[in-house]
Amino acid sequence: MIISQKVNFIFEQPLNEKISNNKDLPYITIQIPVYNDSIVVRCIKHCVHFDYPKDRYEIQVVDDSDDEKVIKAIDESVERYKNLLKISVVRRNSREGFKPGALNNAMKYAKGEIFVIFDSDFAPEKDFIKRLIAPIVNNNDIAAVQARMGFLNANKNFITKFAAGILMVYNTIVLRITSKKGITFLQGTGLAVRKDALTSCGKWNEKSITEDADLTLTLLERKYGIKFLHDLINPGEVPFTLRSFLRQQMRWSYGMIRAGIEHRDSIFSDKFSHTQKILITLILFTGIFSFFVIGMTFFALLAAITGIPAQLGIEDVIRFLTILILTFGFAFTILLVLKEEALLGNFPALVLAIFFMGVILSIAVSVATIKAGRNKEMWWHRTQKSELE
């Protein structure tokens, strides 16, 4: 089913929705949350040069940094552009609530009718804002919009190829399938949300380490529409060290499961169709599948070590062909994704990464899944970003 859906998507016409001529351009607040990432200067530069009227948007650099070099770089960047448009740095005395806490604090000083969020390592194109907010401006039923994630450093090393590959499958296939059933999960960056909708949902949940998933569920529960723009790319970075990659995946898995547990009554109520319930559950509780990967690997190794050599039988041939067909379907899906991302050359490395890193990732995700199930606290860790050149 996934493969047939994917093939259909290849021939799908780009959305490229534009703001209707009879619509007034809303005032936008762009928020860039940052914690000790000097690469934010690049994001600021891209946001300053959007082809959106300079008197119709403002930029808030929501800075929780304690690194003096980063603080200085941010202040110098803001000073450089302050004559072009309204741009400010919003700081606070503590990091309470981490990213969602910082965003909520900055809301007090924001003028925008629509909030647009970028993580510090993203570099959106000039026409990004107009295209991102178009569905909200044109349709009162749409409260939030999510752009598709792109990857600036997918070819940096073995880790980035694996990390980008996982997100490519999610963005290129999973989100496009679920969005057709009215389910689009926000990804924390490259998104727009109406201020009134965000406020009615209680703002960002400061107790969640995946505040984007939590807000998604709250919006859907309140019957707000969320749209996914598969043809609008928001290019950014993926983790390039094993430690930061595993920490990110553990945080996501933990946060998604906690969100699912905390919203379980609504998820399984009549607010969602049966199909939507299945899709939401699969996305939120994907971490559980890590136990199956570990189990299959363990028993395969055990069989290889303790198995007694025997003559090849017809059952063995059928079993091998079944596995081959299933593997081919998965490999074909990856090939289609890489083709769409113009990264076909990464296929061999990605296949190797799946075999060599899949078990390591599954173990890490399993730990996070157990912690989430037992409601044990998981600390928020900053994902390492590239340094400003």
Give the per-residue pLDDT at 10. Answer: 47
pLDDT higher than threshold 50 for residue 11 = no
Longest dimension (CA), the chain: 79
Residues in contact with 362: Cβ distance below 8 Å, sequence separation at least 6, in sequence order? 290, 291, 293, 294, 297
Span of 156-170, 255-269, 271-285 with lowest mean pLDDT: 156-170
CATH topology assigned to domain 28-150+183-239? Spore Coat Polysaccharide Biosynthesis Protein SpsA; Chain A (3.90.550)
Local structure of 172: helix, strand or coil: helix
- Token pair of 23, please? 């619509």
Q: Are 54 and 83 in contact (CB under 8 A)?
A: no
DSSP structure string for 98-114: HHHHHHHHHHTT---SE
CA distance 331 to 345: 14
Cα distances from 195 to residues 92, 275, 306, in angstroms, run 21, 29, 61
DSSP 52: S
Q: Are 52 and 28 in contact (CB under 8 A)?
A: yes
pLDDT in tens, 358-380: 788 889 999 999 999 998 887 76
Half-sphere exposure (CA, 13 Å, Cβ side) for 270?
Answer: 0
* β-sheet with 191-194: strand ranges across: 86-90, 57-63, 28-34, 114-117, 191-194, 142-151, 225-236
pLDDT in tens, 153-204: 988 888 898 898 889 889 988 899 999 999 999 999 999 999 999 999 999 9
Tell me the domain boundaries of the chain: 28-150+183-239
> What does the mean pLDDT of the chain come to?
86
- Token pair of 30, please? 């762009």
Q: Are 38 and 237 in contact (CB under 8 A)?
A: no
Give the per-residue pLDDT at 274. Answer: 96
Q: How confident is the model at residue 290 (pLDDT cuts 50, 70, 90)?
A: confident
pLDDT higher than threshold 80 for residue 24 = yes
When pLDDT is averaged across residues 275-295 and rounded to a whole number, the result is: 89
Percent of the chain with pLDDT over 90: 63
CA distance 77 to 85: 13
Give the per-residue pLDDT at 314. Answer: 67
pLDDT in tens, 299-309: 666 766 776 66
pLDDT in tens, 66-109: 999 999 999 999 999 999 999 999 999 999 999 999 999 999 99
